[in-house]
């Protein structure tokens, strides 16, 4: 995947440029830092995924005559 500064949304571009100026980083270093932060915050588990259906894998236990508890 190639990321180009000119193609970033204006807000993101300002943030990347801010990191570059503040830390003396190259474009690559700033993007990598942003990606590391996003991954650490769980972004990868959210990006590009549709909401999954909630499935019940095990039926709820019901009290029965065979139940040994109680």
Q: What is the mean pLDDT of residues 50-61?
A: 68
Give the Cβ contact number of residue 5 at 10 Å. 13
**Among 52, 48, 59, 8, CA closest to 30:** 8
Q: What is the mean pLDDT of residues 34-63?
A: 70
**pLDDT at position 35, please?**
85
Q: Is this model's pTM higher than 0.75 or not?
A: no
Q: What is the mean pLDDT of the chain?
A: 78
More confident residue, 68 or 23: 23
């Amino acid at each position: 995947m190639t990321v180009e500064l000119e193609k970033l949304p204006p807000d993101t571009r300002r943030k990347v440029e801010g990191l570059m100026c503040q830390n003396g980083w190259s474009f690559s270093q700033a993007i990598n830092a942003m990606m590391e932060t996003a991954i650490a915050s769980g972004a990868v588990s959210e990006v590009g995924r549709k909401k999954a259906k909630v499935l019940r894998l095990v039926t709820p236990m019901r009290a029965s005559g065979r139940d040994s508890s109680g």
